[in-house]
Structure 1
Amino acid sequence: MILSMTGFGRAEDVFEGKKISIDIKSLNSKSFDLNIKVPLRYKEKEFEIRKILNDKIIRGKVDCYINLENLEESNDVKINKNLIDSYMNELRSIASDAPEFEYLKMAVRLPDAISSRPDELNEGEWEALAKIVNTAVEKFLEFRQTEGKILHEELEKNILNIDKYLSEVIPYEEARVNAVRERYQKTLKEFENIDETRFYQEMAYYTEKLDISEEKVRLAQHLKYYTEVMQNENFNGKKLGFISQEIGREINTLGSKANHAEIQKLVVMMKDDLEKIKEQTLNVL
Structure 2
Amino acid sequence: MTKPLASMTGFARGSGNAQACSFTIELKTVNARGLDIRLRIPTGLDDLEHLARKRLSQRLNRGAVNLALNVSNNSAQTEVTVNEQALGTALDAIDTLSGRIEADRPRLDGILALKGVLEVKEAELTDEARTQLKDSIMAEMDIVIDDLLEGRRLEGAQLLEVIADRLTEIESLTAAAESNPSRNREVILERLKDQISALTESEVGLSEERLHQEALVLATKADIREELDRLTAHVAAARNLIKQGGPVGRKLDFLAQEFNREANTLCSKSNNVDLTAIGLDLKASIDQLREQIQNIE
User: The TM-score by the shorter chain falls in which range?
Assistant: 0.7 to 0.9
* Residues 15 and 216 of structure 1: CA distance in aligned 2, closer, same or farther (over 3 Å): same
Q: Say which of 72, 75, 78 aligns to 1:76.
A: 78
Deviates more, 1:31-40 or 1:234-243: 31-40
Give 1:216's aligned amino acid.
Answer: L
Instruction: Find the residue that maps to 1:283 and give its secondary structure.
Output: coil
Partner of 1:31: 34
Alpha-carbon deviation of 1:33? 2.4
Alpha-carbon deviation of 1:156? 1.3
Deviates more, 1:50-59 or 1:268-277: 50-59
Matches within 5 A, 1:109-124: 114-116=119-121, 117-120=123-126, 122-124=130-132
* Residues 119 and 105 of structure 1: CA distance in aligned 2, closer, same or farther (over 3 Å): farther
Give yes or no for the alignment of 1:56 onto 2:59: yes
Instruction: Find the residue that maps to 1:61 and give its secondary structure.
Output: strand
Alpha-carbon deviation of 1:103? 4.8
Q: Say which of 269, 274, 282 aligns to 2:286.
A: 274
* Residues 39 and 184 of structure 1: CA distance in aligned 2, closer, same or farther (over 3 Å): closer
* TM-align CA RMSD: 3.7
TM-score w.r.t. length of structure 1: 0.81
Any idea what the Cα deviations from partners look like across 1:7-28, whole Å, max 9, x if unmatched? 1111122223332221111110
Any idea what the Cα deviations from partners look like across 1:169-226, whole Å, max 9, x if unmatched? 12221164144146358869989xx99x879945465223311111211221112111
Distance (Å, rounded) in 1 between the aligned partners of 2:49 and 2:125: 18
* Residues 257 and 77 of structure 1: CA distance in aligned 2, closer, same or farther (over 3 Å): same
Any idea what the Cα deviations from partners look like across 1:135-173, whole Å, max 9, x if unmatched? 111100001101111111111111111111011112221
TM-score w.r.t. length of structure 2: 0.78
* Residues 123 and 215 of structure 1: CA distance in aligned 2, closer, same or farther (over 3 Å): same
* Residues 189 and 144 of structure 1: CA distance in aligned 2, closer, same or farther (over 3 Å): closer
% identity of equivalent residues: 21
User: Is the 2:21–2:75 contact (alpha carbons within 8 Å) kept by the matching residues of 1?
Assistant: no
Alpha-carbon deviation of 1:257? 1.3
Any idea what the Cα deviations from partners look like across 1:119-145, whole Å, max 9, x if unmatched? 245221111000111111110000110
User: Is the 1:2–1:231 contact (alpha carbons within 8 Å) kept by the matching residues of 2?
Assistant: no
Matches within 5 A, 1:238-253: 238-253=250-265
Partner of 1:164: 172
Matches within 5 A, 1:143-182: 143-172=151-180, 173-174=183-184, 176-181=187-192
User: Is the 2:178–2:228 contact (alpha carbons within 8 Å) kept by the matching residues of 1?
Assistant: no
Give yes or no for the alignment of 1:131 onto 2:131: no
Q: Say which of 208, 223, 227 aligns to 2:220.
A: 208
Corresponding residue pairs, total: 278
Instruction: Find the residue that maps to 1:39 and give its secondary structure.
Output: coil
> Which blocks of at least 5 consecutive residues in structure 1 are unaligned?
none
Instruction: Find the residue that maps to 1:9 and give its secondary structure.
Output: strand
Alpha-carbon deviation of 1:279? 1.4
Q: Say which of 222, 231, 241 aligns to 1:219.
A: 231
User: Is the 2:81–2:120 contact (alpha carbons within 8 Å) kept by the matching residues of 1?
Assistant: yes
Q: Which runs of 4+ in 1 moved over 3 A?
A: 94-115, 181-191, 197-205
Partner of 2:19: 16
